[in-house]
Chains A and B, each alone.
Chain A
Amino acid sequence: MNVPREYPAPSPIPSGSQRGLGSQIVTDVQGWVVQIDGAQHSWIALLAGLAVWEMAGRALHYNFLPPFSTVLRAALDLIASGQILGYLAASLVSLAIGYALAVSSGVLLGLLMGRYRWVEYIFDPYVSAFLAAPKIVFVPILYALFGLGRGTQVAIVFLNAFFVIVINTMGGIRNVDVSYVEMARVFGASEGQLFRKVLLPGALPLTMAGLRLGIGRGVKGMITGEMFIALFGLGALLRKYGGRFDSARVFAILLVVIGVALICSLAVRTLENRFTAWTEDGA
């Protein structure tokens, strides 16, 4: 059989002058996009979004879509008048306390439910029910119990964060490969050693995911709860300005809230990445 020594010359790739200008621009942009860092992608997308917002806000004179610059001015105005900062500080403290309580008790219950079937059987109906139920319906009850301010805020954050943390931690424990547990037991691990050296490290990725979800839900729950009661906190401010159709201020407060939520989420995410570098998709 004769294998040809020389192969026919490949057909020429069309040079720029032969292709349309449009496709050339697309190729150039694609090349540039691929080159820059992934994190920079996010920043650029964000700035682009703000630019679109600004232009759209100015062009379309909708009351509910003020341009970004107007919102920014309203935000500065609110901060200067001291309205936001006071409520923000109070909310952050409540968030911290409520979240800390949710994490410590949620992880504990999740561990126990994950490891011991009988614990799961006892608590699972309640956890599942509460997870599905909109926590906002409990807000009036909490308000009646804890009154105006700190107590209610902490309780709302706790309720919203707790159950998702339990479920994820439980899932994390369940997810630990049974062969690791068997191996550890063959080598003589006690129950405590099993927890510390196998179950906890193994459950960490899912548990941390639960913590991340928990903080997001905690913030959302707190704001919506405050809006519901409309007597204190940033949620109350949102209702007040919303009622007046002052969309610039509403957006301003919303940006502050979103900013807080994102920062918290980012903090948890950083921790999460640090502790789960060993998982396969962490590459």
Chain B
Amino acid sequence: MIELRGCRKAFPGRDGQAPVVVLDGVDLTIRAQEFVCLLGPSGCGKTTLLKAIAGLVPLDEGEIRIDGRSVTGPGNDCAMVFQDFALLPWADVLSNVAFGLELRGVPRATREQRAQELLAAVGLGGFERHRPRQLSGGMQQRVGLARALAVDPKILLMDEPFGAVDAQTRRLLQEDLLALLDRTRKTVVFVTHSMAEALRLGDRVVLMTSRPGRVRDTIEVGLPRPRPPDIEKHPRFVELKDYLWQQLREMNA
């Protein structure tokens, strides 16, 4: 369970300008094994919040607790999937997937085996010795996903993970993600710009404003799980999407 209370973060302005308030008093509770989507207009607030949960960014005010313990730095609870994949180009795919395990001192044989299993799970069996640049964007992100899952985290933080791939690949990756999470339930915090994506994936959608970043609204999605392939035609989906768009339009105005 993740609790955020009164989170505030400002970044210093450029050349003597006023500081940019990126998070301005964010309160949020995320239940265990809940899939929460952070949705909002462009701006750094959502990503900053994600990094704060990960322990990468210290808050100016407020605190974040994971299962009651305050977050002071990166910990074993969280793993992250990045929009630009962040795969190490000098290492092969297997080593990339095993990277988190390597940092934790897991012996080579064990971690390579686990990495192998995960690569198969994301549909990349046989690509162990490839270099990241030999793979397409969608495949690279699968590697990123495999790497995050390899350390078996309680919490999966995903920063617009499918933003850098084409629309078709995006849909496929969404379906694969849901299938993977069906097998091992995790708490997921997922940042996105896409309303459809938020509704397709999430249990709950948190609408955030940008600059300053605040929670504007929270919506329980309440759509059936597992998601049927024609979920977009579900009346509640349509209704929620309209509602979200109304809100976003106002925020962008």
What is the interface of chain B mostly: helix, strand, loop, or mixed? loop
Q: Which 4 A-B pairs have the closest CB atoms?
A: A183-B86, A187-B100, A278-B90, A179-B86
Bound Cα distance A180, B89 (Å): 10
Can you sample 21 A-B contacts with CB below 8 Å?
A177-B86, A179-B82, A179-B84, A180-B88, A185-B56, A186-B54, A186-B74, A186-B78, A186-B79, A187-B74, A187-B80, A187-B100, A187-B103, A187-B151, A188-B74, A188-B76, A197-B102, A197-B103, A201-B88, A278-B133, A279-B89
Judge whether A193 is part of the interface by a CB distance below 8 angstroms.
yes
CB contacts (< 8 Å) of A197 on chain B: these are: 99, 102-103
CB of B90 within 8 A of CB of A182, answer no
Bound Cα distance A201, B157 (Å): 26
CB of B86 within 8 A of CB of A180, answer yes
Judge whether A198 is part of the interface by a CB distance below 8 angstroms.
yes
Judge whether B104 is part of the interface by a CB distance below 8 angstroms.
yes
Bound Cα distance A182, B52 (Å): 12
A179-B86, A186-B74, A193-B103 are known; give 4 further A-B pairs, CB within 8 A: A182-B51, A184-B103, A198-B88, A278-B89
Interface centre among A183, A185, A201, A279 (most CB of B within 10 A): A183
Judge whether B75 is part of the interface by a CB distance below 8 angstroms.
yes
What is the interface of chain A mostly: helix, strand, loop, or mixed? helix
CB contacts (< 8 Å) of B89 on chain A: these are: 278-279
Bound Cα distance A216, B151 (Å): 46
Cβ-neighbour of B80 out of A180, A183, A204 (below 8 A): A183
CB of A189 within 8 A of CB of B56, answer no
Judge whether A202 is part of the interface by a CB distance below 8 angstroms.
yes
Mask of A166-210 contacts with B, CB within 8 angstroms, 1/0? 000000000001011011111111000100011001101000000
CB of A188 within 8 A of CB of B103, answer yes
CB contacts (< 8 Å) of A177 on chain B: these are: 86
Residue of A nearest to B95 (CB): A197
Judge whether B131 is part of the interface by a CB distance below 8 angstroms.
yes
CB of B86 within 8 A of CB of A278, answer no
Judge whether A280 is part of the interface by a CB distance below 8 angstroms.
yes
Residue tally, chain A, CB below 8 Å to B: 20
B189 CB to closest chain A CB, in angstroms? 13
Mask of A140-153 contacts with B, CB within 8 angstroms, 1/0? 00000000000000
Mask of B37-54 contacts with A, CB within 8 angstroms, 1/0? 000000000000001001
CB contacts (< 8 Å) of A198 on chain B: these are: 88
CB of A182 within 8 A of CB of B56, answer yes
CB of B90 within 8 A of CB of A188, answer no
Bound Cα distance A184, B82 (Å): 12
CB contacts (< 8 Å) of A188 on chain B: these are: 74-76, 100, 103-104
CB of B90 within 8 A of CB of A202, answer yes
Bound Cα distance A182, B74 (Å): 10
Interface centre among B51, B78, B99 (most CB of A within 10 A): B99
CB contacts (< 8 Å) of B78 on chain A: these are: 186
CB of B74 within 8 A of CB of A278, answer no
Residue of B nearest to A198 (CB): B88
Tell whether A187 pairs with B99 under 8 Å between CB atoms, given A180-B86, A280-B133. Answer: yes
B42 CB to closest chain A CB, in angstroms? 18
Residue of A nearest to B133 (CB): A280
B209 CB to closest chain A CB, in angstroms? 25
Bound Cα distance A258, B86 (Å): 43
CB contacts (< 8 Å) of B151 on chain A: these are: 187
Residue of B nearest to A184 (CB): B103
CB contacts (< 8 Å) of B55 on chain A: these are: 186
CB contacts (< 8 Å) of B103 on chain A: these are: 184, 187-189, 193, 197
B:117-175 near A, CB below 8 Å: 131, 133, 151, 157
CB contacts (< 8 Å) of A193 on chain B: these are: 103
Bound Cα distance A139, B89 (Å): 43
B88 CB to closest chain A CB, in angstroms? 6
